[in-house]
C-alpha cells in the first residue's frame, strides 16, 4: 500500500506501521528499549524520522482489555497521555488515577508510570515526548 502523503507535514495514522510492543522480533522497538513482556500497540505520528521534528514526538496507542503497559520510566524525557476512548487505571509516581476520554496525564522525566486496561473496551490514547525519537527518551523497566 502506498502512503497517501501529500506533504512532508501531513501524516495519516492508518498509513504508519503499527508497533506491537510485545513483538520480540521487532528490532527497532528493541533498540529503543522495548521489552517483549510489555503490551499494547502504537504508531508514530510526529517524529524526527517522519516529519523532521527536532523537539517532540507524538503517537497513537491502544491497549486491549486486560493488557498492561508495564511500570517504567524515561530518564531523558517528559511524557504525556491524552485518552481518546475506553478507560484504564494509570499509575504515575505514587498516584493511581482513572483515565477516561478527555483525561490528560503529565509524566515528568524519571517518574515511573504504568497503564492497566482494566475495562471492557479497548483503550485508545495519544502520547508524546519532548524528544523527537523513541531511542532518545530512554526506557527503564521497573517491573
Would you say the pTM of this structure is higher than 0.75?
yes
Q: In which band, very low, low, confident or very high, does the pLDDT at 4 lie, cut at 50, 70 and 90? A: low
Domain limits at 116? 59-143
How many structural domains are present in the chain? 1
Cα–Cα distance for residue pair 109/79, rounded to 1 Å: 7
Residue 120 in domain: yes
The CATH number given to whatever domain includes residue 117 is 2.60.120.10
pLDDT digits (tens, 9 = 90+) for 9-19: 888 888 888 99
Between β-strands 79-85 and 104-107, what pairing exists: parallel, antiparallel or unpaired? antiparallel
Residue 47 in domain: no
Residue 114 in domain: yes
Residue 39 in domain: no
Closest CA to 7 of 37, 43, 52: 52
Residue 22 in domain: no
Amino acid at each position: 500500500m502506498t502512503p497517501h502523503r501529500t506533504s512532508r507535514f501531513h501524516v495519516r495514522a492508518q498509513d504508519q506501521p503499527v508497533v506491537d510492543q510485545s513483538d520480540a522480533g521487532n528490532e527497532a522497538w528493541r533498540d529503543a528499549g522495548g521489552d517483549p513482556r510489555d503490551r499494547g500497540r502504537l504508531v508514530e505520528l510526529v517524529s524526527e524520522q517522519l516529519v523532521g521534528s527536532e523537539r517532540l514526538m507524538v503517537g497513537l496507542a491502544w491497549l486491549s482489555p486486560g493488557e498492561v503497559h508495564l511500570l517504567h520510566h524515561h530518564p531523558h524525557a517528559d511524557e504525556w497521555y491524552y485518552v481518546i476512548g475506553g478507560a484504564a487505571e494509570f499509575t504515575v509516581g505514587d498516584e493511581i488515577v482513572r483515565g477516561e476520554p478527555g483525561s490528560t496525564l503529565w509524566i515528568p522525566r524519571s517518574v515511573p508510570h504504568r497503564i492497566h486496561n482494566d475495562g471492557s473496551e479497548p483503550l485508545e490514547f495519544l502520547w508524546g515526548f519532548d524528544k523527537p525519537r523513541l531511542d532518545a527518551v530512554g526506557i527503564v523497566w521497573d517491573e
